[in-house]
Amino acid sequence: MSERSCDVLVIGSGVAGLTSALAAAETGARVLLATKLGLASSNTAKAQGGIQAALGEDDAPWVHAADVIQSSHETADPKLVAALTAEAPDAIARLERFGVRFTHDGDGHYRLARCGGATRKRLLQVGDRTGHAIATSLREAVGADDRIEALDHAPLQALEPSPSGWRATLGRHDGSSLEVAAGALVLAAGGRCYAEAKRLGTFSTNAAGATGEVTDIALAAGCEARDLDALQYHPNGGLWPVTMQGYSIPETTRAYGAVLLNAHGERFVDELGGRDVVSAAIVRECEEGRGLTTPEGRPSVLLDCRPIPVADAEISLPFMLKRYRAAGIDPLAEPIHTYPVLHYQNGGLVIDEHGATTLAGLYAAGEISGGVHGRNRMMGNSLLDGSVFGWRAGHAAADAAQ
Q: How far apart are CA 102 and CA 127, in angstroms?
A: 8
Q: How far apart are CA 357 and CA 63, in angstroms?
A: 28
Query: Would you state the torsion angle of the CA atoms of residues 201, 202, 207, 213, taken in this order, to the nearest 10 degrees?
Result: -50
Residue 348: beta bridge partners?
A: 226
**Neighbour count for residue 236 (Cβ, 10 Å):** 28
Axis crossing angle, helix 130-143 with helix 382-401, rounded to the nearest 10:
20
Q: How far apart are CA 55 and CA 71, in angstroms?
A: 20
Nearest alpha-carbon partner for 25 in 181, 146, 108: 146
**CA-to-CA separations, 347 to 46, 258, 316, 317, in angstroms, rounded:** 20, 30, 30, 30
Residues 6 or more apart whose Cβ sits within 8 Å of residue 310: 332
Radius of gyration of the chain (CA): 21
Query: What is the Cα 74 distance to its own chain's centre?
Result: 21
Is 275 among the catalytic positions?
yes
Q: How far apart are CA 89 and CA 100, in angstroms?
A: 14
Q: How far apart are CA 15 and CA 9, in angstroms?
A: 15
Q: How far apart are CA 299 and CA 285, in angstroms?
A: 10
Please, how many CA atoms are within 13 Å of residue 236, restricted to the half-sphere of its CB? 28
Rounded to 5°, the CA angle 276-279-280 comes to 80
**CA-to-CA separations, 132 to 44, 121, 292, in angstroms, rounded:** 7, 22, 33
Residue type for 175, please? G
Determine the length of the chain: 402
Nearest alpha-carbon partner for 193 in 336, 353, 382: 382
Catalytic-labelled residue, pool 254, 275, 377, 392: 275
Residue 179: beta bridge partners?
A: 3, 169
User: Which DSSP state fits 377?
Assistant: P
Cβ 336 vs Cβ 240: under 8 Å: yes
Please list the active-site residues: 275
